Chains A and B, each alone.
Chain A
Amino acid sequence: MDAHALHPATSTGIPNRKLAIWTFIGSECLFFASLISVYLVYKGKSLVGPYPHEMFEIPLVTAGTALLLFSSLFVVLALNGCEQGNRKKFLGWLAMTILCGFFFIGMQVYEFTHFYHEGLTMQKNLFGASFFTLTGFHGTHVTIGVIWLITIFIEGLKGHVPPAKALNFEMAALYWHFVDVVWIVIFPVVYLMNS
């Protein structure tokens, strides 16, 4: 079947669902810009500790960052496999992406738990409130992305994601890449510019 048979002609020349996911990603840019702004505005304004430099474990977060970056590579390789009808490549790389997503969520759960036991909560100070809000919303997006990718994986196992339906997966992949680029901004802004 021709890959475009399922995408009727549109006035923009772009499948409507692809246009929709890009518009959604555009709105998400503003959402995270607001959260990053709040974090930056409150940076250094906490009157009581714990303070950022006392809390962060850079090696752990660097490992999480690397995993998220690699997951972006894996998902684009999976999409490439899906578009070419290479089921083994598609499902293999997609499974790796999901695994990386789980590890990243695990890293964040560990970090949040550790911070909580160290006395940092949302109510403790401005750093806690802005940090947990920003990274918490990002973690929620990662979780939603993992769930979305798992559903694609299950559909792929059933053979329901042929090259003609690659757009279904491409939308999830675009969302996943967006989650990655947001972290590309959060990682230096929150963790590396903390002194």
Chain B
Amino acid sequence: MDSTAQAHEHNFPERAGEYVKIGLVLFVLTAMEVGAYEIAHREGVPLHEFLHTALIPVLIVLSAIKFALVALFYMHLKWDGPLLKGIFSFSLFLATFVILALLALFIYLGKFSAIIGPLTGAT
């Protein structure tokens, strides 16, 4: 059997139950994201102190899990060959690098704004 046939063979089995389970997990993770946001903004509730300081890392982890679940199961990357996995992974690596590089660049520039002047046209 060639790899095309193998790749497609994986798409044909009945997977509705698996997809629904993933959907429920995604729903729960979204509820956790919003719950974490609410707790972080309400004083006096349990975990407020923790989430007030750790909200951003918690949200990054939760959204990364959601992203991975959709890409692996709904986009079928789990069952696809290494080429498609490579294309998507490399793109994600570049995208993450672009975001981090730009943030680092502008934080660096911000520290020296007194020297180079403010961002032009900023309102």
Residues of A within 8 A of B (CB): 3-4, 7, 9-10, 12-15, 18-19, 22-23, 25-27, 29-30, 32-34, 36-38, 40-41, 45-48, 58, 62, 65-66, 69-70, 72-73, 75-77, 79-80, 83-84, 124-126, 166, 170, 174, 177-178, 180-181, 184-185, 187-188, 192-193, 195
A193–B123 contact, CB under 8 A?
A: no
The interface residues of chain B, by DSSP majority, are classed as helix
Q: Please measure, in the bound complex, the distance between the C-alpha atom of A26 and the C-alpha atom of B75, giving whole angstroms.
A: 13
Q: Which residues of B contact A125 (CB under 8 A)?
A: 123
A193, B7: Cβ atoms closer than 8 Å? no
- Give 8 A-B contacts (CB < 8 Å), ordered by A residue: A22-B84, A30-B91, A30-B94, A37-B99, A37-B103, A84-B14, A126-B123, A177-B74
How many contacting A-B pairs (Cβ < 8 A)?
155
Establish whether residues A47 and B123, one from each chain, have CB atoms under 8 Å apart when the complex forms. yes
- Are B91 and A14 touching (Cβ within 8 A)? no
Q: 1/0 per position for B81-123, CB-CB distance to A under 8 A?
A: 1011001101110111011001100100000000000010011
For the complex formed, measure the closest distance between the CB of A107 and the CB atoms of chain B, giving whole angstroms: 15
In the complex, what's the smallest C-beta–C-beta distance from A31 to chain B, in angstroms? 9
Min Cβ gap A104→B in Å is: 14
Q: A19-B84, A69-B26, A83-B11 are in contact. Are A10 and B95 (CB under 8 A)?
A: no
Q: Is the CB of B59 within 8 A of A188?
A: yes
The answer to whether A73 touches B74, judged by C-beta atoms less than 8 angstroms apart, is yes
> B90 contacts A37, CB within 8 Å?
no
- 7 more contacts with CB within 8 A, not counting A34-B98, A69-B66, A192-B34, are A12-B83, A29-B92, A41-B106, A126-B122, A170-B11, A177-B71, A177-B74
Asked if A45 meets B95 with Cβ closer than 8 Å, knowing A77-B19, A181-B71, the reply is no
Question: What is the chain A residue whose CB lies nearest that of B26?
Answer: A69
B 1-15 to A, binary, CB cutoff 8 A, 1 in contact else 0: 011110110011011
Using Cβ atoms and an 8 Å threshold, which residues of chain A touch B45? none
Q: Report yes or no: B27 in contact with A66, Cβ–Cβ below 8 A.
A: yes
Residues of A within 8 A of B20 (CB): 73, 77
Please give, as numbers and ranges, the residues of chain A lying within 8 Å of B96 by CB-CB distance.
Answer: 33
Query: Which of A10, A62, A76, A125 is the most central at the interface, judged by chain B CB atoms within 10 Å of its CB?
Result: A76
